[in-house]
Amino acid sequence: MTDSIFSASAKHLYLIDGSGFIFRAYHALPPMTRHDGTPINAVMGFSNMLFKLLKDLDDNARPSHLACIFDRARKTFRNDIYPEYKAHRPAAPEDLVPQFPIIHEAVKAFNIPAIDAAGFEADDIIATYARLAEAEGFTVTIVSSDKDLMQLVGDKIEMFDSMKNRRIGPDEVFEKFGVGPEKVIEVQALSGDAADNVPGVPGVGMETASIVISRFSLEEILNLNEASLQIVITLVKKELQQLEDDIHSLVGHKFKITSAEETGVAFFETLGLKGGKKNDKGKYKLINTETLKHMTAEGLGVAAKLMEFRRLRKCPNIIEKIRDDADMARISRELVTLKCDVPDLPDIETLRLKDIDPETILPFLEEQGFRSLQGKVLSHMDADVSASYQASATAAPEEIDYETVTTMDQLNRWISDISAAFQVTIDTETTSLNAMRAKSSRKSLLGSRNLARIISANSV
């Protein structure tokens, strides 16, 4: 587990994005069922992920407070703002639905508060706790990789992607959005989000949105009148001219930057860079963004400036689009802004991290049939607790009542006894391993833990 970007603190709150954990767990494991037929693949994956996190925290920097946050229902206040919000998402898979309450049981079995709220998403609850904790002097770690939560990152709030063992701070947010955490909301409002059906402004992607928002706030753009718009366009043109002059200076001569051929000659012949591609007529093709990013990563400032020039050229048109779709930009901003005032949540002090209680977690894992995880939990506990439980688990088994069925009366009585059982186990003994030649010699039936019958094939 990578170290937190924060130094050790007596007040450190961990907030687990439980809903995110659920879907990662569900898609990571194949279908599997419990002894009673209940699907449990998501429960197993979730429980393993949760225990690994708790173990890693015990082995490293144990936080003072921790909670697992969930969505409660699909309909939230955002659907009142924009009815189409997440409307295109399919219902949860049929075999996942019965696992939701068991996952909540798992969280409680691990002695962790499981929190949700009617009308709000898990992200809103996380945002509320994060801001409250920050105001009370806590450092906060949000266990999630969800980009929607990156607007919360700051001096006292980080994110942690437990699957990739990666901490997410302001630098990582800038790498993702091209702006700092404080401007993520505005970039998302313009670029929209297809996954959540947030419309954004048509024709505006994340890269162009970040170029605009890094220079002007969304509110400034929305409030521009015609005179102010012309001032903005003039400023953009001046910046473009400065970028053009810088590129010419780095290459050593002037050329038409908007020409693929002239730019190709400047980069691949004048500067001798590699990676140039030509068309069938022997002319250089446009240098694509990925090539420019690769060049920039290698420290070529001229590539970075060309990439910036291309993006900035789109600014005037993007600003016009934003003004034309101002209402949609405002709606989208409201949709992507996380609520920091979800009411009636448990007090932060109730989230203080407690030790795992063997009397709760071990029977839960036993019921689910998670023997491997049960062993891991036991090995992590104090030696005396582990030894005590192992002793009880290896106690002498109950005596089983076996009876050989040799008459029809016995068989009918046995059928009556097991008809009320939830399930019956049948084992067939045959005279050969060859399926075409084998004949049944006897059948063994188990109807409960201490009641079994053996039926001879020749007796009934």
**3-class SS at 257?**
coil
pLDDT value at residue 310: 92
Q: Is 195 a member of any domain? A: no
Three-state SS for 442?
strand
Does residue 175 share a domain with residue 225? no
Paired with 68 in beta bridges are 16, 114
Same domain, 169 and 260: no
pLDDT for 73 equals 80
Question: For residues 369 and 165, what is the distance between their CA atoms, to the nearest angstrom?
Answer: 28
Residue 27 located in a structural domain = yes
Alpha carbon of residue 96 to chain centroid: 16
What's the pTM value of the predicted model, to 2 decimals?
0.79
Looking at residue 103, its pLDDT comes to 97
Listed in sequence order, the residues at least 6 apart from 430 whose beta carbon sits closer than 8 Å to its beta carbon are: 438, 439, 440, 441
Q: How far apart are CA 387 and CA 391, in angstroms?
A: 6
Question: CB atoms < 10 A from the CB of 207, how many?
Answer: 16
pLDDT at 458: 54
The CB-side HSE value for 36 (13 A sphere, CA atoms) comes to 6
Give DSSP secondary structure letters for 331-398: HHHHHHSPPS--SSPPPGGGGB-----HHHHHHHHHHHT-HHHHHHHHHHS-HHHHHHHHHHHTSPPP
Tell me: do 115 and 229 sit in the same domain.
no
Residue 185 lies in a domain: no
Q: Residue 89: what pLDDT?
A: 86
Would you say residue 313 lies in a domain? yes
Q: Is 197 a domain residue?
A: no
User: What residues does 115 pair with on adjacent strands?
Assistant: 69
- Range of the structural domain that residue 425 is part of: 401-456
Assign residue 121 the CATH number of its domain: 3.40.50.1010
Asked if the structure places residue 46 within a domain, the reply is: yes
pLDDT along the chain (460 residues), means of 10: 61 96 93 92 96 90 94 90 90 93 97 96 98 96 96 96 94 95 96 93 90 91 87 90 96 95 95 92 94 93 94 88 92 97 96 94 94 92 62 54 72 68 65 65 55 55
pLDDT value of residue 295 = 94
Same domain, 224 and 254: yes
pLDDT in tens, 363-418: 999 999 999 999 999 988 876 565 556 555 555 555 556 677 777 777 777 676 66
Do 256 and 316 fall into the same domain? Answer: yes
User: Are 147 and 27 found together in one domain?
Assistant: yes
pLDDT at residue number 60:
80
Q: Specify the number of domains making up the chain.
A: 4
Q: Are residues 381 and 449 in the same domain?
A: no
**Same domain, residue pair 291 and 342:** no
Assigned token pair, 66: 């921790």
Is 273 found in the same domain as 134? no
- Shared domain check, 143 and 30: yes
Same domain, 173 and 268: no
Q: Are residues 423 and 276 in the same domain?
A: no
φ, ψ of residue 157 to 5 degrees: the values are: -125, 125
pLDDT at 61: 81
Task: Return the residue matching tokens 């049981």.
Answer: 105
What is the C-alpha to C-alpha distance for residues 433 and 413, in angstroms, rounded to an integer? Answer: 31
Residue 383 in any domain: the answer is: yes
